């Protein structure tokens, strides 16, 4: 379908948690009036309607998916596979589906095995998570300037990719990168999953005798912000991307051991070198 107009489309958001509902708020801001929601929690659906995020809510997909021109799956990766499998017969011909999942390779292979040729699934990952979950914490401000990753497949139509990317930028994301699903899972194992592992380990290494609340500054707050974690989601993400995450942990431990060795040997030159290396690398991120 050519010349898609987002304002005239029927949009269905599956999963009105913090990210799904935030997409609804952002699309509403763009002038989209026909936004519908699917969620297993009736209270969440009621809130979404009351707040004007969606026009109408549904607990299942059969009544609304057949009208959906754009479907956004704001649910966990394993749930995406289940949802598509169970609802594939309701999907509208020539519709676009996208997701917000934090892992790709295994999910994509499972989806493509069952996806009809007339449905275009564009796999996406907004790098804009929040520590708290649920519709009460939804806001489109979280998207402003954030990175967005798309992992295209050979089945994606060029015009649909360009259309979705246009909407992503209009929502407020700063840049979009197209990468393979394999590279996505590898790099996310480092930039996202490893950072959460470090934050959890740091927080869990607290000793009761420290009473740290009285002694922390911005450095501790910044490092442990993401230790307030959705345990269900991140357990799934860690296990589904286990090999890449373990490799990242090994690389991190190697660097930690270098610092430890320099301290044990009181090697100030080595220590300064490691600190300068990290400073130089971090400064490049700000350019």
Residue-wise pLDDT for 214-255, tens only, equals: 889 999 999 999 999 999 999 999 999 999 999 999 999 999
Q: Residue 118 contacts by C-beta under 8 Å, 6 or more apart in sequence?
A: 93, 94
* pTM for this prediction: 0.92
Through-space distance between the first and last CA atoms of the chain, rounded to whole angstroms: 40
Report the C-alpha gap between 184 and 166 in whole angstroms: 21
pLDDT for 131 equals: 67
For the cut 50, the answer to whether the pLDDT of residue 96 exceeds it is yes
Please say whether the beta carbons of 2 and 40 come within 8 A: no
Instruction: Work out the pLDDT band at 103, boundaries 50, 70, 90.
Output: very high
Report percent pLDDT > 70 for the chain.
Answer: 99
pLDDT surpassing 90 at residue 45: yes
Q: CA nearest 127: which of 163, 166, 72, 175?
A: 175
The residues, ordered by sequence, that sit 6+ positions from 201 with a Cβ below 8 Å of its Cβ are none
Q: What is the pLDDT of residues 178-198, one digit of tens each?
A: 999 999 999 999 999 999 999
User: What secondary structure letter does DSSP report for 31?
Assistant: T
* Tokens of residue 284, six digits: 């490049």
- When pLDDT is averaged across residues 113-132 and rounded to a whole number, the result is 90
Structural domains of the chain, with CATH: 6-179 (3.40.50.720), 184-285 (1.10.3660.10)
**Where does residue 135 rank: exposed (0-12), middle (13-18), buried (19+ CB within 10 A)?**
buried
Q: What is the pLDDT of residue 133?
A: 80
pLDDT at 1: 46
Residue with tokens 């996208």: 98
- Average pLDDT rounded to a whole number, residues 27-40: 96
pLDDT of residue 287: 78
Question: Which of 128-142, 198-212, 235-249 is modeled with the greatest confidence?
Answer: 235-249
């Amino acid at each position: 379908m050519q010349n898609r107009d987002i304002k005239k489309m029927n949009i269905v958001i599956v999963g009105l948690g913090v990210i799904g509902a935030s997409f609804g708020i952002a699309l509403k801001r763009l002038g989209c009036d026909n936004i519908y929601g699917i969620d297993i929690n009736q209270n969440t659906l009621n809130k979404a309607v009351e707040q004007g995020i969606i026009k109408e809510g549904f607990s299942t997909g059969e009544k609304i998916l057949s009208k959906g021109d754009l479907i956004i799956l704001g649910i966990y990766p394993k749930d995406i596979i289940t949802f598509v499998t169970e609802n594939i017969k309701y999907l509208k011909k020539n519709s676009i589906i996208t997701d917000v999942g934090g892992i790709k390779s295994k999910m994509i292979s499972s989806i493509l095995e069952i996806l009809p040729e007339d449905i275009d699934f564009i796999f996406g990952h907004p790098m804009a998570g929040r520590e708290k979950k649920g519709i009460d914490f939804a806001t489109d401000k979280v998207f402003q300037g954030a990175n967005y990753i798309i992992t295209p497949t050979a089945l994606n139509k060029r015009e649909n990719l360009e259309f979705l990317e246009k909407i992503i930028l209009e929502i407020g994301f700063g840049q979009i990168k197209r990468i393979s699903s394999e590279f996505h899972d590898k790099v996310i194992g480092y930039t996202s999953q490893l950072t959460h592992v470090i934050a959890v380990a740091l927080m869990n290494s607290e000793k009761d005798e420290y009473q740290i609340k009285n002694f922390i500054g911005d450095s501790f707050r910044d490092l442990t912000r993401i230790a307030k974690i959705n345990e269900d989601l991140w357990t799934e993400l860690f296990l589904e991307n286990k090999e890449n995450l373990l490799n990242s942990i090994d690389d991190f431990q190697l660097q930690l051991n270098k610092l430890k060795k320099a301290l044990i040997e009181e090697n100030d030159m080595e220590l300064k070198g490691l600190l300068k290396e990290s400073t130089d690398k971090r400064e490049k991120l700000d350019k």
